[in-house]
Amino acid sequence: MFKHQNTLNIFLTSLAPIVWGSTYIVTTELLPDNLPLIASTVRALGAGVVLLLFCKVRPSGKWWMKIALLGLLNIGLFFYCLFAAAYYLPGGLAALIMSIQPLIIMLLGAVFFQSRLNITHISSAIIGVTGISLLVLNSSSEVNGLGITLGIIGALSMALGVLLTKHWGRPVGMSLIDLTCWQLTLGGLMLLPIALWYEDLPSSLTTLNISGYAYLILIGGVFGYFMWFRGIEKLNPVATSFLGFLSPISACILGYIVLEQSFTNIQLVGCVAIMLSIYIARPKTQQKTPLPITATSNSQP
């Protein structure tokens, strides 16, 4: 029974990075040009506002600070570093740097949460990073120090956010929808002044633009992050982070199908390596993965 439930949890969680892989094609084909921070803010804050319609519980006490920090790590700081790194680096190199996230989660988990370093996960991470390099890199990729630094900060931000989301759980009476809502809302509010400072609002919106923003909000934001936070809650955080490797695969396949971009044999080998790394790192079915601090997640702050 648990084996089937575990497989279902992996499948549902994998939908989030697969959906996020479509962000590039939506951004380039449906949204106004050169407004990446506006797009990321609309996705986060728009999704948060939509979920507010269904939100029944507000954070209280120390949970305001905890959820604000999670919103910063998982949404605000991560989104900023993601788009800023992509500005200074070729998209493939930025994706490769972000792919070190599982290694960071393993290291932080060992240092701060007494998690054991697992040789299987380390090997899987190396295979996955190698696969992503084959999938997205090309000979014209240029190195930029600031871009690399921002990429590492972004990966560190999301890694710490994943660990703390798992470690803290959620307060009594707060549903997963509520937790997702407040992280997106607070993270989006943090992004808003930065986006308005660096970018101008589009002077007009076409029907395609509106449909693109709606997709980012409802599918990339509401659906994607609900599934992602659900996965963090149900699965081992390291195994969850490996599922993020599906995002560049999704982006490349959609580019090949929709935009008729090239897809080489080397990229195919990269895809196989990524899938192998995810399979090796999958949660084992012999025992359930408990919440690290059930007492905290089930007690009032």
What are the pLDDT digits (tens) for 193-204?
999 999 999 988
Neighbours of 1 (CB within 10 A): 5
Q: Cβ(86)–Cβ(248) under 8 Å?
A: no
Q: Cβ(73)–Cβ(188) under 8 Å?
A: no
Q: Cβ(170)–Cβ(179) under 8 Å?
A: yes
Closest CA to 85 of 16, 143, 161, 9: 143
Instruction: Give the pLDDT mean for 48-65.
Output: 94
Instruction: Give the pLDDT mean for 51-62.
Output: 92
Side-chain-side CA neighbours of 292 within 13 Å: the count stands at 18
pLDDT at 142: 65
The interaxial angle of helices 2-20 and 224-234, nearest 10 deg, is: 140
pLDDT at 36: 86
Q: Which long-range contacts (CB under 8 A, 24 or more apart) does 296-299 make?
A: 296/167, 296/168, 296/169, 297/168, 297/169, 297/170, 297/171, 298/169, 298/172, 299/172
Q: How far is it, in rounded angstroms, from Cα 39 to Cα 24?
A: 11
> Which has the higher per-residue pLDDT, 295 or 73?
73
Average pLDDT value over all residues in the chain: 86
What amino acid is encoded at 295 in this protein? A
pLDDT at 120 over 80: yes
* pTM for the structure as a whole: 0.85
> Which has the higher per-residue pLDDT, 177 or 259?
177
pLDDT at 2: 59
What amino acid is encoded at 124 in this protein? S
Instruction: Give the pLDDT mean for 261-278.
Output: 90
Beta strands in the chain (DSSP E): none
Q: How far is it, in rounded angstroms, from Cα 175 to Cα 229?
A: 11
pLDDT at 156 over 90: yes
Cα→Cα distances 84→154, 178, 218, 220, Å: 10, 29, 24, 19
Phi-psi region of 169 (alpha: psi -120 to 50; beta: other; left: phi over 0): left
Of the pLDDT bands very low, low, confident and very high (cuts 50, 70, 90), residue 139 is low
pLDDT at 177: 94
pLDDT at 281 over 70: yes
pLDDT at 261: 78
Identify the sign of the CA torsion 9, 125, 71, 49: negative
User: What pLDDT digit, counting tens, does each position of 23-42 carry?
Assistant: 888 888 899 988 889 999 99
Lowest mean pLDDT among 89-93, 97-101, 167-171, 233-237: 89-93
pLDDT at 286 over 70: no
